[in-house]
Amino acid sequence: RLAKPNPPPPNRSFRLLHGPPYPSLHGFESLDPTYPDIAATAFGKKGRITASIFIILELYLVATGLLILEGDNLHKLSPDFALKLGNLTGDFIAYHCCGGFLVGTTKDVGFHGKGTLVNFKGLPTALSLYTFCYGAHAMFPTIYNSMRKKSQFPKVLLLSFITCTITYVAMAILGYLIYGHNVQSQVTLNLPKEKISSKVAIYTILAGPIAKYALTIMPISTAIESCLPTKYQENKPISILIKILLLISTMVWAILFPSFESVTSLSGAGLIILVSFLLPCVCYLKIFGIYRHFGYELAGISGIIVLAVLVGGWGLIRRLLILSRKLREAC
């Protein structure tokens, strides 16, 4: 339903580097395009379906991660409480927050961590985790179309990515300096639980999944409902049943996944790479016909695609091997 866009402006390379190509798609503004819309423009109905499936799977893993995050913080506050499903016990890993670092630096912990500065065995997991951290591209079309001054979109992206990069690097360095090789997959597990400040930090984290889970599940539920026959699409009991089943299924996966690190690295290597790197680049090449003429732009985009495939494949294979080994050990 989207018309073919006009020829791209001269600065499309800048826009590709600082965000997906939607700012260059003239004529789309009034249609409020989404990721599936852009994929449909490039590859038709199959492109729309493929993009929708990947985005839904990504949101599903994010929702699972939110439950793991919530469960681990509750486990941190009440370690004697456990959720059992048959012979399985849910052990959950938590997320970090600034309050946790305040505890580490001011509450009898300090910067005394020791460990190996470079661990190449952990490189695939680290790359997958950082990929997950930068995986907000599916929201870019919505953000762009909601902006009053759309010309400011590249600046918004640049500022956001710089802020996130500084935050991630700072937290990684502080976590290493404070806890060294003893740092766990999420820093809050290292906090001294007898401290009031630790409890404040954990209670702060608990509010996050509660606020975000419903927003994450809603697009999945809407997509499932849209596939039903017309007479069932606005049926409230069916809508409630779908959401309950989604909640139950994500809870089961949250119990089965060994850690928050596992679900985030798996999502980063397997889905974020597709949604945030491969899909924008491939659609951009197809829509603007860049693939027909070899040049610096085609070479640059091809390099991004190759790098994404290598990083994603390496991280995904490594994570699946680790998960299979842990499952064998558990059995």
Considering Cα of 280, then 283, then 287, then 293, what sign does the dihedral take? Answer: positive
Residue 193, pLDDT above cutoff 60:
yes
Residue 111, pLDDT above cutoff 70:
no
Of residues 142 and 80, more confidently modeled: 142
Least confident of 98-102, 148-152, 155-159, 193-197: 98-102
The confidence score (pLDDT) of residue 28 equals 46
Mean pLDDT confidence for 224-232 = 84
| 1-59 pLDDT, tens digit each | 334 444 444 344 334 334 544 444 444 444 456 778 888 888 988 988 888 898 888 88
Q: Choose among 266, 239, 241: nearest CA to 323.
A: 266
The confidence score (pLDDT) of residue 92 equals 37
The confidence score (pLDDT) of residue 11 equals 41
Q: What is the pTM of this model?
A: 0.69
CA distance 183 to 185: 7
The confidence score (pLDDT) of residue 91 equals 42
What is the identity of the amino acid at 29?
E
Mean pLDDT confidence for 301-326 = 84
The confidence score (pLDDT) of residue 214 equals 84
The confidence score (pLDDT) of residue 81 equals 55
The confidence score (pLDDT) of residue 246 equals 92
Of residues 281 and 106, more confidently modeled: 281
Neighbours of 252 (CB within 10 A): 15
| 47-65 pLDDT, tens digit each | 888 888 988 888 888 888 8
Confidence of residue 209 (pLDDT cuts 50, 70, 90): confident
The confidence score (pLDDT) of residue 103 equals 47
Mean pLDDT confidence for 69-89 = 62
The confidence score (pLDDT) of residue 67 equals 85
Q: What percent of the chain has pLDDT over 70?
A: 72
Confidence of residue 74 (pLDDT cuts 50, 70, 90): confident
What is the identity of the amino acid at 84?
K
Residue 192, pLDDT above cutoff 50:
yes
Q: What are phi and psi of 309, to 5 degrees?
A: -65, -45
Mean pLDDT confidence for 80-107 = 45
Of residues 84 and 191, more confidently modeled: 191
Average pLDDT, the chain: 74
Q: Choose among 221, 275, 309: nearest CA to 54.
A: 275
The confidence score (pLDDT) of residue 320 equals 80
The confidence score (pLDDT) of residue 115 equals 63
The confidence score (pLDDT) of residue 9 equals 42
> Can you name the residues that pair with 88 across neighbouring β-strands?
85
Strands (E) across 73-196 are located at: 84-85, 88-89
CA atoms within 13 A on the CB side of 189: 19
Residue 245, pLDDT above cutoff 90:
yes
Residue 311, pLDDT above cutoff 70:
yes
The confidence score (pLDDT) of residue 319 equals 77
